[in-house]
């Protein structure tokens, strides 16, 4: 939050709704004693009360008696609930497809996908930069019929599919695609060398045995699911005027034995039009986030669905200018979100924009597969794998394997479980999804870790699917309480 920014949270005693209101934007506030507008520039003092009370402006002007609760914060942490003694605070973030960095990743992977359609062993090493209406693409693409690739059309399609259509694309905007790409067929002998490493790399793989998380860290899985639910809402209800750019950050409390979790704080930033109905949008977002958290809690053992957490919506104020017009974007900048969140080292370089014979792309997939095998075969609760490769090598070597609490495992027990050859991921991900969606929603979610009785509950994003899953869980006797593994 920028210095001096003011957030307001309010709670009416006659309603369960709890949200955030910025003084910079005009919002309608309803309470039991009166109905009035908080105008542009209004500020409220830092006090939380229950029952009728005279709430005063910081400069001394009274607002009158209102039966409502208003809180003022100057910094994020002053509004934050500290974790209980002995527990750990975890955090993770995720971004929406319209975020400029993620938009660049999707364009880069759309080029990889198009090249692979022409030749399975196509060589692709692409980076993308965005600013306002300019898309700059550089690198190399080598495959059959590469001269027919329309990079401008690819960029336009990614923009469109991300949600940059009216009213979130300017009428006068003409997307300028500037390329500096070495294009042409693979050089003689280069095709046969695709199975040999042309670079060095250190890569990390992670897996967890906790159901309902896609074998990801629980906080990272939650941030991803809430981002998917938020994006689904803006697609399903265009009347809310929500845009394609946005972010989610979550804070959860983890017990000392890492078997119980609860949400502490969720913050959302979502682009919108200048004419949006802030109150209606906030209520819809609150309802969708509540439903998504409930569904996540039902799928994940030990995760508590609690009302005792804060939800911030656009805590920095109006978010009208989004995408590349709000900030510049660059492929490979969201590495922590692309991998496993901040608690797991990221190892090598970016994945998007590289073909699957590149060490930075194949390596993390092999490491992930080995971590999953260790969890499934050795009974680890979680596993962290480190692999390394040198230029000229044909396969990765195992450097280190750790279970929970940094317990080292004997690497000889893992030999033969996974194909460690660089060429083993040449045809990934087969028919499991296109690379543009993988770039947007995660490289490690093809494998599902779900509750056997509830099905793929955690993967549901539509409200109908989530409600059906919640009702099914209730019929099975599920409770909204923390449950040990």
123 forms beta bridges with 142
- Report the CATH number at residue 106: 3.30.300.10
Give the CA diameter of the chain. 82
Residue indicated by tokens 């093809």: 446
Boundary residue ending a domain (190, 207, 224):
190
Report if residue 380 sits inside a domain.
no
Which of 167, 344, 171, 307 is closest to 239 using CA atoms? 167
Instruction: Looking at the structure, tell me whether residues 73 and 115 fall in a common domain.
Output: no
What sign results for the dihedral spanned by CA atoms 445, 142, 103, 231? negative
Q: How many CB atoms lie within 10 A of CB 57?
A: 12
Instruction: Looking at the structure, tell me whether residues 68 and 143 fall in a common domain.
Output: no
Q: Is residue 327 pLDDT above 60, yes or no?
A: yes
Q: Is residue 453 pLDDT above 60, yes or no?
A: no
Instruction: Looking at the structure, tell me whether residues 123 and 184 fall in a common domain.
Output: yes
Tens-digit pLDDT profile for residues 372-395: 999 998 889 999 999 999 999 999
CB-based contact 352:108 (threshold 8 Å): yes
Which of 256, 251, 233, 254 is closest to 243 using CA atoms? 233
Instruction: Looking at the structure, tell me whether residues 124 and 49 fall in a common domain.
Output: no
Task: Note the pLDDT of residue 445.
Answer: 82
Which of 296, 313, 277, 248 is closest to 102 using CA atoms? 248
Which of 320-329, 353-362, 428-437 shows the lowest per-residue confidence on average (mean pLDDT)?
428-437
Report if residue 260 sits inside a domain.
no
Verify cis geometry, omega within 30 degrees of 0, for the bond prior to 429: yes
Boundary residue ending a domain (130, 160, 190):
190
Report if residue 173 sits inside a domain.
yes
In eight-state DSSP terms, residue 339 is: T
Q: Is residue 28 pLDDT above 50, yes or no?
A: no
Report if residue 339 sits inside a domain.
no
What sign results for the dihedral spanned by CA atoms 135, 141, 144, 146? positive
Q: Cβ contacts of residue 101 below 8 Å, gap of 6+?
A: 95, 329, 330, 331, 333, 334
CB-based contact 182:140 (threshold 8 Å): yes
H helix runs in 100-241, sequence order: 100-118, 151-162, 218-236
Structural domain range at position 42: 7-77
CB-based contact 346:331 (threshold 8 Å): no
Report if residue 14 sits inside a domain.
yes
Task: Note the pLDDT of residue 24.
Answer: 35
Boundary residue ending a domain (165, 190, 215):
190
CB-based contact 285:463 (threshold 8 Å): no
**Domains of the chain: total:** 2
φ/ψ (deg, to 5) at 180? -135, 75
Q: How confident is the model at residue 308 (pLDDT cuts 50, 70, 90)?
A: confident
Instruction: Looking at the structure, tell me whether residues 61 and 109 fall in a common domain.
Output: no
Q: Is residue 440 pLDDT above 70, yes or no?
A: yes
Report if residue 416 sits inside a domain.
no
Report if residue 420 sits inside a domain.
no
Helix, strand, or coil here: 197?
A: coil
Task: Note the pLDDT of residue 232.
Answer: 97
Instruction: Looking at the structure, tell me whether residues 106 and 186 fall in a common domain.
Output: yes
Tens-digit pLDDT profile for residues 241-290: 999 999 999 999 999 999 999 999 999 999 999 999 999 999 999 999 99
Tell me how far CA of residue 454 lies from CA of 262, 299, 302, 458, 459, in angstroms.
20, 7, 15, 9, 11
Instruction: Looking at the structure, tell me whether residues 109 and 175 fall in a common domain.
Output: yes
Q: Are strands 62-66 and 69-73 parallel, antiparallel or unpaired?
A: unpaired
Report if residue 374 sits inside a domain.
no
Q: Is residue 50 pLDDT above 70, yes or no?
A: no
Structure tokens at 287: 């309802």
Q: How confident is the model at residue 478 (pLDDT cuts 50, 70, 90)?
A: very low
Interatomic CA distance for residues 263 and 269, integer angstroms: 18
Q: How many CB atoms lie within 10 A of CB 167?
A: 12
Tens-digit pLDDT profile for residues 352-368: 999 999 999 999 999 99
């Amino acid at each position: 939050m920028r210095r001096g920014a003011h957030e307001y949270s309010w709670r009416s005693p006659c309603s369960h709704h709890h949200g955030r209101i910025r003084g910079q934007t005009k919002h309608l506030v309803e309470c039991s004693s009166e109905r009035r507008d908080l105008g542009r520039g209004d500020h409220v003092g830092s006090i939380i009360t229950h029952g009728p009370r005279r709430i005063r402006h910081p400069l001394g002007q009274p607002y009158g008696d209102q039966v409502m609760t208003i809180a003022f914060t100057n910094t994020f942490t002053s509004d934050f609930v500290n974790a209980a003694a002995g527990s750990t605070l975890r955090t993770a973030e995720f971004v929406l497809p319209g975020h400029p960095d993620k938009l660049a990743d999707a364009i880069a992977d759309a080029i990889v996908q198009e090249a692979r359609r022409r030749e399975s062993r196509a060589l692709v090493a692409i980076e993308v930069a965005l600013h306002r209406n300019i898309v700059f693409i550089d690198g190399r693409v080598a495959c059959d019929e590469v001269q027919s690739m329309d990079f401008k059309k690819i960029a336009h399609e990614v923009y469109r599919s991300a949600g940059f259509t009216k009213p979130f694309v300017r009428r006068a905007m003409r997307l300028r695609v500037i390329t500096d790409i070495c294009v042409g067929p693979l050089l003689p002998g280069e095709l046969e060398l695709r199975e040999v490493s042309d670079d060095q790399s250190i890569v990390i793989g992670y897996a967890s045995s906790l159901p309902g998380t896609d074998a990801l860290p629980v906080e990272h899985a939650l941030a991803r699911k809430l981002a998917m639910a938020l994006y689904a809402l803006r697609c399903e209800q265009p009347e809310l005027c929500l845009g394609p750019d946005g972010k989610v950050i979550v804070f959860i409390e983890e017990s000392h034995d890492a078997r119980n979790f609860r949400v502490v704080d969720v913050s959302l930033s979502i682009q919108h039009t200048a004419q949006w109905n802030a109150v209606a949008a906030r209520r819809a977002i609150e309802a969708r986030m509540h439903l998504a958290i409930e569904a996540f809690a039902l799928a994940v053992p030990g995760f508590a669905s609690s009302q005792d957490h804060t939800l911030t919506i656009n805590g920095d104020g109006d978010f009208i200018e989004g995408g590349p017009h709000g900030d510049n974007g660059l492929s490979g900048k969201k590495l922590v979100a692309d991998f496993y969140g901040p608690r797991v080292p990221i190892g090598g370089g970016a994945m998007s924009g590289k073909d699957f014979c590149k060490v930075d792309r194949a390596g993390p997939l092999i490491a992930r597969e080995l971590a999953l095998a260790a969890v499934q075969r050795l009974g680890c609760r979680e596993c962290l794998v480190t692999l390394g490769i040198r230029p000229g090598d044909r396969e990765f070597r195992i450097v280190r394997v750790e279970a929970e609490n940094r317990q080292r495992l004997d690497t000889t027990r893992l030999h033969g479980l996974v194909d460690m050859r660089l060429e083993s991921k040449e045809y990934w991900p087969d028919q499991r999804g296109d690379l543009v969606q993988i770039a947007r929603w995660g490289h490690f979610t093809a494998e599902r870790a779900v509750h056997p009785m509830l099905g793929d509950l955690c993967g549901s994003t539509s409200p109908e699917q989530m409600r059906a899953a919640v009702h099914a869980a209730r019929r099975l006797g599920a409770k909204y309480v923390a449950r040990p593994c």
